[in-house]
A = this chain, B = another copy of it.
Amino acid sequence: MRKHLIPLAALLAAAPAYPQASANVAAGRAQPSPLAPSEIISAAPGGDWTAIAPSDLLVMDLAPDAKGKPRRVVIQLMPAPFSQGWVGNIRKLAAAKFWDGTSINRVQDNYVVQWGDANAEDKTKARKLPGDLAMVPESEYSIDHDILLDRVLPKDSYGVQAGIFAGWPLAFDDKIWPVHCYGMVGVGRDMPPNTGTGAELYTVIGHAPRHLDRNIALVGRVIEGIEHLSSLPRGTGALGFYETPEERTGIVSIRIGNEVSGLPGRANRRDAFFIRPAGGADVCNVPVPVRRVK
């Protein structure tokens, strides 16, 4: 393996990994060489992983790339108690095949990739939305709830505590809410804060835009295939929208995972590890391992 730039794993390993280190300190033994995160993941027993049900996945198949290779993006939907009104809408939209034949319409560097009906604002051309979508109030962006977090991180630059719950990055004060890390998926909306149905979605492809937290609903995260979105050509129009229809990437279909064939199972590592190589860790830099299940 080439070592021209310190790999992430080597640097994270500069501090001892959580479970091993504490056990050895307690026993008064010399500490072994710390394991790299990839080694910790490889060594993790099966019980450390939680299966992700196919019914909690949203599978987006893009048009094949220039070489004819398929492009599949797998999104894990946000679990209860967060954003369930929008997640419910997304299930209905997928069931109605609303997105089949729509497109990726916006790619803004260091910000977001956005997809949906490119004609949504043209009443003569807009696709018909399913009739039973909920109008979810903005109060659902952050909620009152008692949640046992897997990890709590120090107060961050945004003046709030952050933590990890079932692999999801959250922040809290008297409320609790999911945060905009790389790969998180949110609901595009117009200016009134409750106008987002879920028909227009985006994912973060840059530094965490945490100023969007509690301003927009987060409904999932990309767990496989984000490179098919993050490497798309950037749009040259305002906000990174493509200026011509030809620049858009077509969406063949978006389905809930149990409607898709050939989809391997997925598993989340239950206890998201993290370490503090630099005196702390940004919630958006906490690795949350996900693996395919045979």
8 Å CB contacts to B: which residues of A12-48? 12
Give CA–CA (A109, B182) in the complex, Å: 10
Q: Is the CB of B158 within 8 A of A278?
A: yes
Q: Is the CB of B227 within 8 A of A206?
A: no
| Cross-chain contact of A120 among B4, B11, B116, B120 (Cβ < 8 A) | B4
Is A110 part of the binding interface, using a Cβ–Cβ cutoff of 8 Å? Answer: yes
Copies of this polypeptide in the complex: 2
Which B residues are CB-close (under 8 A) to A234?
A: 227, 230-231
| Cross-chain contact of A211 among B1, B190, B208, B277 (Cβ < 8 A) | B277
Which B residues are CB-close (under 8 A) to A231?
A: 107, 109, 230-234
Is A8 part of the binding interface, using a Cβ–Cβ cutoff of 8 Å? Answer: yes
Is A191 part of the binding interface, using a Cβ–Cβ cutoff of 8 Å? Answer: yes
Among the 9-residue stretches A51-59, A252-260, A263-271, A280-288, the one with 4 or more Cβ atoms under 8 Å from chain B is: A280-288
With A5-B202, A157-B280 given, can you name 19 additional A-B contacts, CB distance below 8 Å?
Answer: A3-B191, A4-B106, A4-B190, A5-B106, A5-B112, A5-B188, A5-B216, A6-B189, A11-B212, A109-B231, A153-B157, A157-B282, A157-B283, A211-B277, A211-B281, A227-B234, A231-B231, A231-B232, A231-B234
